[in-house]
């Protein structure tokens, strides 16, 4: 509810803040992509009290970020109003100047910022998507997994399952054994049929020339998306691939952008066809809205990386958003541990406007067994 000039502000000072971490194991066995293996996903949560509500935010990172938030950043956050997310964002960034703002620091900021926005919406008794304003009521989702640890049957089964569930785009990991990647892509195409958008993610595994050769071969299978063919730090190589690769295949990156300036570097270098951003890394809701503004300025589509239940409202608000990543591990974790977790239906994810804030709450009893 807008306040008239001179009217007293809603009382919404942050009086308490808690952080915690939950380590959630992979489904059956360790998983891998082109450059990493993992056996669990760690969610770091923030709960803050303000104005009679509890704001909830989260990120995916190492459990040590919970200590950073609770021991070092909580004192900076307390006393601010949740009505002023930008003030909290700026204060936390300043507090981390000598600690390191990227990486763990950016994840910590992101979880705090999401909790502040969640609390702000709850204080105003609206959903976050209502508070931000909607460019659209739902956002297209693409199934993401297809791990390099899967055998061909598991790969086919997962991708075909998403198509059965109504998703119209799916992404598989490539890059661990480049000599097998074209066969995996071919199997994936067979599994999903000719009409489903097929996407790939190399997680920076390829060399530049290797990536170009595979980009051309993938494009012949109708692949439309090659994410991080080389490391996203190799911005000049990404730009070279974007210039030399097949016209129908988008080069994408941005999941390791920790700040608006990181995102701007990819855009300035003309390194991507679609900019990816992750609100759990790039500065929360505030950072994601900045990513959208950058995409508007650079005439660039925006794609949300992972954390689908968090990104739904943000992608509906972001004018440049084209899709969000419905990532297998995060869908499992969010469904298991978060009340209000969102499920893709008819190929889209839609935030629930009837639930205040993000509409998400940690299931304390279910989460407790995974507490770090």
Contact positions toward Mg ion, by CB under 5 A? 201, 227
User: Minimum CB separation from Mg ion for residue 201, in Å?
Assistant: 4
Q: What are the structure tokens assigned to 247, written together?
A: 């016209």
**For the residues of 66-80, what is the DSSP string, one character each?**
HHIIIIIIHHHHTTS
Distance CA 30, CA 38 (A): 6
d(CA 133, CA 287): 16
Question: DSSP assignment, residue 345?
Answer: B
Q: Closest separation between CB of residue 367 and Mg ion, Å?
A: 26
What element of type H or E holds 16?
strand 14-25
Distance CA 185, CA 360 (A): 36
Residue (201 or 292) nearer to Mg ion, CB = 201
Question: How far apart (Å, rounded) are the C-alpha atoms in residues 242 and 232?
Answer: 13
Residue with tokens 């990536």: 211
Q: Cα dist. 144→57, 253, 282 in Å?
A: 23, 15, 20
Residue among 306, 244, 304 at smallest CA distance from 270: 244
Least distance to Mg ion, CB of residue 325, Å:
8
- Cβ of residue 277: shortest distance to Mg ion, in angstroms? 12
Question: Would you say 129 or 203 has its CB closer to Mg ion?
Answer: 203
Q: Count of alpha carbons within 13 Å of 345, Cβ hemisphere only?
A: 8
Q: How far is the CB of 305 from Mg ion (least distance, A)?
A: 6
CB of 198 to Mg ion, least distance (A): 15
Instruction: Pick the closer one to Mg ion by CB: 227 or 250.
Output: 227
Instruction: State in angstroms the smallest separation of the CB of 116 from Mg ion.
Output: 27
User: With the CA atoms of 328, 331, 337 and 343 taken in that order, what torsion angle do they form, in degrees rounded to the nearest 10?
Assistant: -160
In terms of CB distance, is 14 or 167 closer to Mg ion?
167
Closer residue to Mg ion (CB): 21 or 202: 202
Nearest CA to 258 among 68, 67, 103, 69? 103
Q: What's the full length of the chain, in residues?
A: 372
Q: How far is the CB of 203 from Mg ion (least distance, A)?
A: 6
Residue nearest to Mg ion (CB): 201
Shortest Å, Cβ 142 to Mg ion = 12
List 327's β-bridge partners, or say none. 144
Nearer to Mg ion, 146 or 359 (CB): 146
Q: Cα dist. 306→16, 109, 191, 280, 315 in Å? A: 28, 17, 23, 9, 12
Q: How many CA atoms lie within 13 A of 223 on its CB side?
A: 31
Shorter beta-carbon distance to Mg ion: residue 198 or 358: 198
Nearest to 247 by CA among 223, 229, 267: 223
Please say which residue, 145 or 245, places its beta carbon nearer to Mg ion: 145
Cβ-based nearer residue to Mg ion, 81 or 276: 276
Residue 33 or 118: which CB sits closer to Mg ion?
33
**Min. distance of Cβ 290 from Mg ion in angstroms?**
20
């Amino acid at each position: 509810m807008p306040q008239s000039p001179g009217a007293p502000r809603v009382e919404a000072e942050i009086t308490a803040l808690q952080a915690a971490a939950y380590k959630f194991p992979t489904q059956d066995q360790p998983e891998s992509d082109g450059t990493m293996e993992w056996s669990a996903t760690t969610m770091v949560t923030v709960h803050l009290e303000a104005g009679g509500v509890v704001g909830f935010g989260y990120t995916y990172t190492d459990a040590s970020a919970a200590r950073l938030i609770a021991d070092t950043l909580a004192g900076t956050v307390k006393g601010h109003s949740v009505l002023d997310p930008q003030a909290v964002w700026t204060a936390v960034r300043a507090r981390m100047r000598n600690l390191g703002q990227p990486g763990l620091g950016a994840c910590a900021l992101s979880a705090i910022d999401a909790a502040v926005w969640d609390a702000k919406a709850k204080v105003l008794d609206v959903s976050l998507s209502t508070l931000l304003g909607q460019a659209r009521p739902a956002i297209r989702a693409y199934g993401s997994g297809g791990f390099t640890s899967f055998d061909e049957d598991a790969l086919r089964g997962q991708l075909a399952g998403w198509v059965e569930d109504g998703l119209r785009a799916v992404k598989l990991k490539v890059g661990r054994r480049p000599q097998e990647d074209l066969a995996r892509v071919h199997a994936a195409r067979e599994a999903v049929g000719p009409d489903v958008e097929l996407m790939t993610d190399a997680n920076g595994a390829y060399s530049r020339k290797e990536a170009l050769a595979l980009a051309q071969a993938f494009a012949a299978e109708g692949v439309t998306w090659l994410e991080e063919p080389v490391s996203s730090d190799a911005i000049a190589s990404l730009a070279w691939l974007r210039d030399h690769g097949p016209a129908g295949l988008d080069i994408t990156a941005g999941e390791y952008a920790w700040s608006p300036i990181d995102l701007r570097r990819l855009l300035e270098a003309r390194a991507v066809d679609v900019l990816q951003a992750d609100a759990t890394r790039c500065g929360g809701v505030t950072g994601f809205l900045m990513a959208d503004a950058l995409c508007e300025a650079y005439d660039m589509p925006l794609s949300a990386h992972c954390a689908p239940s968090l990104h739904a409202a943000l992608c509906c608000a972001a004018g440049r958003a084209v899709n969000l990543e419905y990532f297998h591990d995060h869908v499992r974790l969010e469904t298991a541990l978060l009340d209000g977790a969102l499920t893709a239906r008819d190929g889209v994810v839609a935030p629930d406007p009837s639930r205040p804030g993000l509409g998400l709450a940690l299931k304390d009893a279910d989460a407790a067994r995974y507490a770090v």
